[in-house]
C-alpha cells in the first residue's frame, strides 16, 4: 500500500505547495470525467516529488491558485504521461501550462521503446511491475473514493517518478533529450487561447463541400453552436451535430416549418434549437462571403505527392528508429504539402522545424512535388 496525503483543506494545500516549491521534479496526473460536457470535469489531482505523494481533492479545496502557480514555476521539471488531456484540464481550471514539461510516453517513443505506450505497459516494460487497472472506469466525481480507487490514483504518479531517470538516461545516450523538451514546449503552446468563434466553421466536418454562399450560413451556425456549447458546458455534438449544420447550410430553410421537414436534424435538435437556428441563419453576412475551403487532398497530383513525401519520411524513420506516427503523421505531411503549395513563403511546417527539420529538411526540399 502506498502512503499518500489526501488534500481536502486549504491549509493542507498551502502546506503542500510550500513543500513542492523546493522540488526539482514534480510528477503530475489528473482524474476526470467527460461524457457530454465540453470541458472535462476534474475529480482528482495527483502529485509526487519523490517524498510527498499527494491526492488533491478539487471538489473540497476551493482555491487552487497557489498549486496552479506552482505548475508555471520554470525551476521545477513537470513529469507527465500522455499529457494531452491533462494539459486541457490545466488550461481550463488553472489557466496555466506546466513548464518545463517531460512527457514519458513521448520520451519512450523517441527512444525507440514503442509508440503510444500506456502507463501500465511502460511500467511493466521498464520496472517489471504489473499494475492493477481495475479502477480505470471510476466515477472520479463521486465521494467518498474507495481505498482501491485512491491506491490506483497514487500508483499513477509513484511509479512514473521511478521511470524518469531511466527515460532521461536513454534520451541522453541517444542524444534525443532536447527532442523531449522541445516536444514539451510544443504541446503546451497555444493552449491558453480562447476558442476561435469566427473560424469555428472551418472545423466542421465536410465544410469543403460548401460554396462560399453556403459557407456564410455555416459560419454563423458554427459560431452559434460553439457559443452555446461553451455557455452550457456541453460537447459540440450534443448541441447540434456537424452533418446537421452542413444540411442547414446547404438547404437554407427560411422558416421553422421548412426546418421541421429536414431529415438532417434529429427531432430533439428541431425541438430545442429550431427557432434559434432559423434566427441565426438570418444573420448570415451574404455581402462578405468566406473564401471557399480549399481541400488540398482533392487536387489531381495530391496522392502521388503525398506518397513521395511519406516514403521519404518512412526511410528517415527507419534509419533513426523513430515511430512514423510521431514523426510522419498524416497531418504533418499534409501541413508540409500545404506549405509547399502556398509557395513556401508562410511559416515553416512542423516537418521542417526543430529536431524534425534537422532530419527531414534537406531530403524533403529536394523532392520534385507537383500538385
| Active site (catalytic) residues | 29, 31, 86, 152, 156
Q: What radius of gyration do the chain's Cα atoms show?
A: 24
- Paired sense of beta strands 25-33 and 77-80, if any: parallel
**Residue among 116, 118, 105 nearest 167 (CA):** 105
HSE (side-chain half, CA atoms, 13 Å) at 234: 14
The three cell numbers locating residue 224:
452559434
29-36 long-range CB contacts below 8 Å, 24 or more apart?
A: 29/80, 29/81, 29/86, 29/153, 29/156, 29/157, 29/160, 30/85, 30/86, 30/89, 30/90, 31/138, 31/140, 31/153, 32/85, 32/89, 32/140, 33/139, 33/140, 33/141, 36/234, 36/235, 36/238
Partners of 350 in the beta sheet?
none
Amino acid at each position: 500500500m502506498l502512503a499518500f496525503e489526501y488534500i481536502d483543506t486549504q491549509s493542507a494545500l498551502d502546506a503542500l505547495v510550500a513543500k513542492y516549491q523546493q522540488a526539482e521534479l514534480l510528477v503530475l496526473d489528473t482524474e476526470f470525467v467527460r461524457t457530454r460536457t465540453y470541458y472535462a470535469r476534474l475529480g482528482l489531482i495527483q502529485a509526487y516529488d519523490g517524498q510527498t505523494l499527494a491526492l488533491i481533492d478539487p471538489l473540497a479545496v476551493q482555491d487552487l491558485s497557489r498549486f496552479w502557480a506552482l505548475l508555471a514555476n520554470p525551476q521545477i521539471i513537470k513529469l507527465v504521461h500522455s499529457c494531452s488531456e491533462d494539459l486541457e484540464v490545466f488550461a481550463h481550471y488553472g489557466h496555466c501550462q506546466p513548464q518545463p514539461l517531460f512527457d514519458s510516453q513521448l520520451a519512450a517513443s523517441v527512444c525507440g521503446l514503442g509508440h503510444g505506450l500506456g502507463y501500465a505497459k511502460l511500467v511493466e516494460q521498464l520496472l517489471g511491475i504489473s499494475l492493477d487497472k481495475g479502477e480505470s472506469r471510476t466515477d472520479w466525481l463521486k465521494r467518498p473514493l474507495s481505498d482501491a480507487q485512491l491506491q490506483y490514483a497514487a500508483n499513477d504518479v509513484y511509479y512514473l517518478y521511478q521511470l524518469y531517470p531511466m527515460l532521461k538516461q536513454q534520451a541522453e545516450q541517444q542524444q534525443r533529450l532536447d527532442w523531449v523538451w522541445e516536444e514539451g514546449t510544443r504541446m503546451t503552446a497555444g493552449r491558453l487561447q480562447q476558442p476561435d468563434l469566427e473560424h469555428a466553421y472551418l472545423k466542421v466536418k465536410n465544410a469543403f463541400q460548401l460554396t462560399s454562399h453556403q459557407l456564410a450560413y455555416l459560419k454563423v451556425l458554427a459560431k452559434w453552436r460553439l457559443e452555446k456549447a461553451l455557455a452550457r458546458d456541453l460537447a459540440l455534438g450534443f448541441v447540434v451535430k456537424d452533418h446537421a449544420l452542413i444540411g442547414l447550410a446547404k438547404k437554407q430553410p427560411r422558416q421553422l416549418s421548412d426546418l421541421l421537414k429536414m431529415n438532417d436534424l434529429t427531432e430533439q435538435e428541431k425541438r430545442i434549437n429550431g427557432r434559434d437556428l432559423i434566427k441565426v441563419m438570418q444573420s448570415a453576412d451574404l455581402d462578405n462571403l468566406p473564401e471557399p475551403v480549399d481541400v488540398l487532398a482533392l487536387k489531381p497530383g495530391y496522392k502521388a505527392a503525398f506518397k513521395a513525401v511519406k516514403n521519404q519520411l518512412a526511410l528517415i524513420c527507419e534509419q533513426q528508429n523513430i515511430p512514423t506516427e510521431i514523426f510522419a503523421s498524416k497531418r504533418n505531411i499534409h501541413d508540409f504539402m500545404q506549405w509547399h503549395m502556398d509557395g513556401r513563403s508562410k511559416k515553416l511546417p512542423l516537418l521542417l522545424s526543430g529536431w524534425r527539420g534537422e532530419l527531414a529538411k534537406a531530403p524533403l526540399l529536394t523532392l520534385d512535388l507537383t500538385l
